[in-house]
Structure 1
Amino acid sequence: MSTRTEAAAGQEIGDDELITAWGLLHEALHTTGPLLLRDIDPSEGDMSGPWFEVLIRLQRSPGHRQPMSKLAREVSLSSGGFTKLADRLERKGYLARKSCPSDRRVVYAELTEAGQELANEARARHVVLLREHVLRPLGEDGLRTMAELARTLRDTSLAS
C-alpha cells in the first residue's frame, strides 16, 4: 500500500501533510466555533450551541418547521439528545411540536413567534461574529472557497 496520495495537480501529498491539513481544519473549527456563539443571546447563557443551530435551521425552513428526526440528524444529535433539547426549547416557549396530518409517525418541530424573535436576534449577532472571525481573516474569495470545499466534503460523505 502506498503512503502517498496523488493530488489533482499532479503533486504528491504525503501522509504527514494530509494528517496536518485535516488536523488544522479540526483545530480551526474547534477554536473558531465558540467565538461564533459568544454572547449570541445573553439571556440564554445556559444554552449550548445546538439550540442556536436548531433555531436557525427552523428559521430558514419553509413554514419555520422540520420533522424532528431530520432536524436531529442535521444538528448531529442523537434522537434522545435532540428530544431533551426540544423539551428545553419548548418549555422556554421557542418551539412547538406539531403532528403531521398525513403520517402519525412524523412530528414537526416548529418555531413559535417567540422562537422566531429569538432566532432573528441571535442570527443578527451571529452574522457580526461571522464577519469578524471568518470573513475578515479569509476574505471574500477565501470564504467562497471554504464553502465550496465544505460542500464537496459534505456531499461526498453523504453519497458514501
Structure 2
Amino acid sequence: MKRVVTKIRDLDRALFRRVFGMKWEPFDGVMRMFTIAGSAGAIWGCIAFLAFVASGLELLNLAVPWTAIAGSWIVAEGTKHLFNRNRPFLWDAEVAPLIKTPSSSSFPSGHSATAAAGALTLSFFYPALAPVLLVAGFLVALSRVYLGVHYPFDVLAGVLIGTTVAALLLLLL
C-alpha cells in the first residue's frame, strides 16, 4: 500500500512540475485574475445573483448555486484538516508561487470545489451559458496549479467535491 501511495504522490508532483513549469507571462495575469475571482466562490456567487435578478427573481436560481458553493467550500475546508498536506512551495523551496501564499492545507482545493459547484449548478439553470461557465470553472481550478499553490490531485479532489455537492443538490430538485 505504501508503494502505491508513493507512486501517486510522485505522479502528482511530476504533473505539478509540468503545469507549474509552463509559464507564459501574458497568461500569468489571467491566472491571477481567475484565482482571485474564485476566492471563496465569489465569482460564482456574483454570477448567481446577477442571473437571479436577470431571470425575474426566481429564488431557486439563486438558492441552489449559493447552497452548492457554500456546501462545497465547507466540505473542502473541513477535509483540509483531515489531510493537512503541505503546499508545493513548502515541499520544494525552488517553487516560487506567483501569488500570495495561502496558509491552509493544500488538499483539497477549495477554489476548485466552489468552481465546480458554481459552474455546474449555474449551467443547469442557464444552459446557454454553460460553455463559458465551464471554461471559467476550469481556469479557476487550473490557476491553482499554474500559480504554484496546489498539486493537480488537490484540484481534482476539489472538483470531485464540488461536482458531488452540486449533483446531490440538483438531484434533490
Q: Relative contact order (C-alpha < 8 Å, sep 6+): which is higher?
A: 2
Q: Is the TM-score greater than 0.5?
A: no
TM-score, with length taken from structure 1: 0.31
TM-score, with length taken from structure 2: 0.29
